[in-house]
Every structure is written in C-alpha cells, then in structure tokens.
Amino acid sequence: MLVRLCAAAFISFLTISSVQAQVRSPSRLPDPRIEFVRQCAPRMLGRWEHPEEVCGCLHDHAAAVVEDRDLREALLRGISETGVPTIETDWVPTSKQSEIGPTFTKIAKPTLQCMFDPAKHGS
C-alpha cells in the first residue's frame, strides 16, 4: 500500500513538474525567415500571383548568396520595406558601401528566378 501511494505521488509530481516546465518555458523568438516573409508579402501583393513564395525564394536564394552580414541584412530590409531588392547606403557601414553594386550583380540571377518562377528556382 505504501509503495502504491509513493508511486502515485511520484507520478503526480512528474506530471505537475512537466506542466510547470511547459508553462515556464520562454516563448520562442519568431523565425527570421517567417518574419521576413510576413513583412515582405504585403509589398508583393498585386505584383505576383504567389507573394509568399516570391518572398521566401528571395530570402532563401537571392539573399543567401550574400556572404556579408551587413549587406544581407540591408538587402532583406530593402525587400521587406519596398518589395524590390534595394539597399540604401545608410543601411550599411561606410566601409562596405562600395560593395552594394557588386552585391546586386551577385543576386541578379537568383532574384529574377525568384520573381518570375519561384517554384522552379534552381532548375
């Protein structure tokens, strides 16, 4: 009897601890890709048939080819704010502003593929 009582108490303790851990777990930060698509898609409405696909493709393929973090973040900001690939010079450090032009050359092909055929990107 005592063994059953202790086992029941132990199981109850585990259940309560599990529920409390779930309640106390910090809320996860939003996925940067999902947040980008959420901000980008409204800018693409009326331009493209599937704005979420275009935005996801731009994030995954066009911006992904930009190795420099500052330039990539500026590009993602430009797309999500304007709906087109753009980088404002004041969004990147002065030392990297000369890389804006070469960055657009680098993203030209994946950007066009994303905008005109996002489902077949990479084919």
Digit-coded pLDDT (tens) for 44-60: 998 888 999 999 999 99
This prediction has a pTM of 0.71
pLDDT digits (tens, 9 = 90+) for 86-114: 999 999 999 999 999 999 999 999 999 99
Residue 25 has pLDDT above 80, yes or no: no
What's the Cα-to-Cα distance from 53 to each of 15, 21, 116, rounded to whole Å? Answer: 42, 36, 11
Closest of 78, 69, 68, 80 to residue 33, by C-alpha: 80
Average pLDDT, integer, range 18-33: 61
In angstroms, the CA 71 to CA 75 distance is 6
Average pLDDT, integer, range 6-23: 46
